[in-house]
Amino acid sequence: GIELGKLLATTGYITHDPGFVNTGAASSAITYIDGDAGILRYRGYPIEQLAEKSTFIEVSYLLIYGELPTQAQLEEFTGKIQRHTLLHEDLKAFFSGFPRDAHPMPVLSSAVSALSTFYQDSLNPFDEANVELSTIRLLAKVPTLAAYAYKKSVGQPLLYPDNSLGLVENFLRMTFGFPAEPYEVDPDVAKALDLLFILHADHEQNCSTSTVRLVGSSEANLFASISAGINALFGPLHGGANSAVLDMLEGIQAEGGDVANFVQRVKNKEKGVRLMGFGHRVYKNYDPRAKIIKNTADEILSKLKGGDQLLDIAKKLEETALSDDYFIERKLYPNVDFYTGLIYRALGFPTKYFTVLFALGRLPGWIAHWREMIQDPATKIGRPRQIYTGYASRDYAPISER
Ligand code: ACO
């Protein structure tokens, strides 16, 4: 494939592939997907096994360094992350510059971009020690930044990290706790969030990861590249789908719960009406992550809320869609985000914050891809071509003659 691409480039022919449906932009050893069979593996390990047996911090190590850590490696990695969770005090002032009701996603991407200005000692993409330090800084500080973005959006005081806690527990405390007040982390909540982070941790060349790689291919530093990835994730067709699903379910509920009517509107292709959380560019089968999450949604929602009317609407929607020819012919199945919003809501997160949670989960995947890309001798600056459709050539006319 690579050789054919190079050969075509010398002939003047261009592959026209809008949306990169069939363009392999990189070789990668990180994540394997078989979309027809519904298979997802990180570094060869099936997602089902990692979801059942691993932890987010261990999966982060696996994605970034290629192997599951030994006990000693895991302790060292965890310790390094714990030591770097604090933000520079001047970064706190940065948050006060945003409007009070700012969406936390652009706040997060701006803050991650700003890390380039605070850590000018670790920006060289080819210095391995620099890259290692930036990796740890990102893994440690992005949860703190995300919690601050949340606190800003609800007008509450910021909390310093408590490094006696694990990564997820610390994040929950910084999000929901108050200074000088004890905060008890609910182990069920921490476990559910850890699982959701594992399921989101990587998904090969998706829109945000491709963005990270493309920006990084210009040798832009890790902070700048990840900030770009966060912005790509913001869109409703990508990470923004998890909040869009909840808006959709609440809309159906407000209109009396008429699922059949909503599905008909989707099939009529009414402008702006899609079955959010359904369909995927690669999966033409049930998304394996959605299968795992569906079970968790049942458990968590009945435990924390004693059931949920929106979950009933979601299940009815799924049932209706999966037996309808429109969805069957197009191979549209629930994707990872069909059920995640319901869990995030049950855990106490507001809808606006859901996509930030996706970003926290995807962070190790973005870092792993950036590192793989920068070390790959085959990497070239990303520079797609185009099919020009404008005027051939015309002469400039003075303004009086136009
Ligand atoms: N609801 C209704 N129809 C759909 C949906 C949907 N969710 N998804 C695709 N279709 C239809 C399209 O209208 C199209 O029909 P047509 O052939 O009659 O024109 C056909 O299925 C193919 O769809 P495309 O848009 O060409 O598929 P593509 O691969 O470009 O898009 C995407 C994939 C963006 C995920 C799409 O399925 C979608 O918009 N889904 C809803 C948003 C969503 O859930 N995004 C999250 C994706 S997963 C993630 O980022 C974690």
User: What is the per-residue pLDDT across 319-352, written as a single tens digit (0 to 9) for each?
Assistant: 999 999 999 999 999 998 898 988 998 888 999 8
For residue 302, the number of C-alpha atoms closer than 13 Å in the C-beta half-sphere is 6
At 267 the pLDDT is: 95
Atom 16 of ligand 1, nearest CA residue: 330
Locate 312 and state its tokens: 């009933």
Of the candidate ranges 11-15, 42-46, 309-313, 327-331, the one whose mean pLDDT is the lowest: 11-15
**Residue 283 contacts residue 47 (beta carbons within 8 Å):** no
Mean pLDDT, range 128-135, rounded to an integer:
96
* C-beta contacts of 53-59 below 8 A and 24+ residues apart: 54/198, 55/194, 55/198, 56/167, 56/168, 56/194, 56/197, 56/198, 56/201, 56/361, 57/81, 57/166, 57/167, 59/197, 59/198, 59/201, 59/364
What ligand 1 atom has the least distance to the C-alpha of 203?
Answer: 51
* Integer Cα distance of 306 and 293 in angstroms: 18
DSSP annotation of 69:
P
Coil, helix or strand at residue 42: strand
Question: Distance, CA 181 to ligand 1 centroid (Å)?
Answer: 45
β-partners of residue 46 are 41
The one catalytic residue in 280, 287, 308, 369 is: 280
pLDDT digits over 23-43, tens only?
A: 999 999 999 999 999 999 999
Q: Is 238 in the pocket of ligand 1 (CB under 6 A)?
A: yes
Of the candidate ranges 211-225, 307-321, 356-370, the one whose mean pLDDT is the lowest: 307-321
The one catalytic residue in 200, 287, 337, 369 is: 337
Percent of the chain exceeding pLDDT 90 equals 74
Asked if the model's pLDDT at residue 178 lies above 90, the reply is: yes
In testing the pocket of ligand 1, which one of 209, 234, 281 has its CB within 8 Å of the most ligand atoms? 281
In which element (H, E) is residue 214 found?
helix 207-216
How high is the mean pLDDT of the chain?
93
At 152 the pLDDT is: 85
Mean pLDDT, range 244-258, rounded to an integer:
92
Cα three-residue angle 199-165-240, rounded to 5 degrees: 35
Q: Is 336 in the pocket of ligand 1 (CB under 6 A)?
A: yes
Of the candidate ranges 17-31, 175-189, 298-312, 386-400, the one whose mean pLDDT is the lowest: 298-312
Locate 289 and state its tokens: 């992550």
Q: Distance from CA of residue 131 to its chain's centroid?
A: 21
Q: Which residues, in sequence order, are CB contacts of 40 under 8 Å at separation 6+?
A: 31, 32, 33, 46, 47, 203, 288, 289
Mean pLDDT, range 86-90, rounded to an integer:
93
Asked if the model's pLDDT at residue 302 lies above 90, the reply is: no
Question: Distance, CA 190 to ligand 1 centroid (Å)?
Answer: 32
Q: Any catalytic annotation for residue 337? A: yes
Could you tell me the pTM of the whole model? 0.93
Q: Is 275 in the pocket of ligand 1 (CB under 6 A)?
A: yes
DSSP annotation of 359:
H
* Integer Cα distance of 402 and 5 in angstroms: 44
Atom 12 of ligand 1, nearest CA residue: 330
Question: Distance, CA 125 to ligand 1 centroid (Å)?
Answer: 36
Question: Distance, CA 279 to ligand 1 centroid (Å)?
Answer: 5
Asked if the model's pLDDT at residue 65 lies above 80, the reply is: yes
Q: Is 367 in the pocket of ligand 1 (CB under 6 A)?
A: no
* Integer Cα distance of 382 and 384 in angstroms: 6
For helices 167-176 and 56-65, give the axis angle rounded to 10 degrees.
Answer: 120
Coil, helix or strand at residue 46: strand
Coil, helix or strand at residue 67: coil
**Residue 109 contacts residue 230 (beta carbons within 8 Å):** yes
Atom 34 of ligand 1, nearest CA residue: 237
Type of residue found at 65: Y
**Residue 346 contacts residue 311 (beta carbons within 8 Å):** no
- φ, ψ of residue 31 to 5 degrees: the values are -130, 140
Q: Note whether ipTM > 0.90 here.
A: yes
Q: 2: pLDDT confidence band, cut at 50, 70 and 90? A: low
Residue 275 CB coordination number (10 Å): 22
Q: Is 278 in the pocket of ligand 1 (CB under 6 A)?
A: yes
Q: Is 145 in the pocket of ligand 1 (CB under 6 A)?
A: no
**Residue 356 contacts residue 108 (beta carbons within 8 Å):** yes
Q: Which residue has the tokens 């990084």?
A: 216
Mean pLDDT, range 68-96, rounded to an integer:
94
Q: Is 281 in the pocket of ligand 1 (CB under 6 A)?
A: yes
Asked if the model's pLDDT at residue 82 lies above 90, the reply is: yes
In testing the pocket of ligand 1, which one of 335, 354, 362 has its CB within 8 Å of the most ligand atoms? 335
Asked if the model's pLDDT at residue 167 lies above 60, the reply is: yes
Atom 47 of ligand 1, nearest CA residue: 238
* Integer Cα distance of 181 and 176 in angstroms: 11
At 17 the pLDDT is: 93
Q: 311: pLDDT confidence band, cut at 50, 70 and 90? A: confident
Coil, helix or strand at residue 3: helix
Q: 122: pLDDT confidence band, cut at 50, 70 and 90? A: confident
* Integer Cα distance of 142 and 74 in angstroms: 20
Atom 20 of ligand 1, nearest CA residue: 330
Asked if the model's pLDDT at residue 306 lies above 60, the reply is: no
Q: Is 330 in the pocket of ligand 1 (CB under 6 A)?
A: yes
Q: Any catalytic annotation for residue 280? A: yes
Q: 3: pLDDT confidence band, cut at 50, 70 and 90? A: low
In which element (H, E) is residue 295 found?
helix 288-305
At 155 the pLDDT is: 86
Q: Is 103 in the pocket of ligand 1 (CB under 6 A)?
A: no
Residue 218 CB coordination number (10 Å): 12
Question: Distance, CA 99 to ligand 1 centroid (Å)?
Answer: 33
Percent of the chain exceeding pLDDT 70 equals 98
DSSP annotation of 333:
-
pLDDT digits over 383-396, tens only?
A: 999 999 999 999 99
Mean pLDDT, range 169-177, rounded to an integer:
96
**Residue 39 contacts residue 32 (beta carbons within 8 Å):** yes
Atom 36 of ligand 1, nearest CA residue: 279
Asked if the model's pLDDT at residue 304 lies above 80, the reply is: no
Locate 200 and state its tokens: 């989101």
Asked if the model's pLDDT at residue 58 lies above 90, the reply is: yes
Asked if the model's pLDDT at residue 139 lies above 90, the reply is: yes
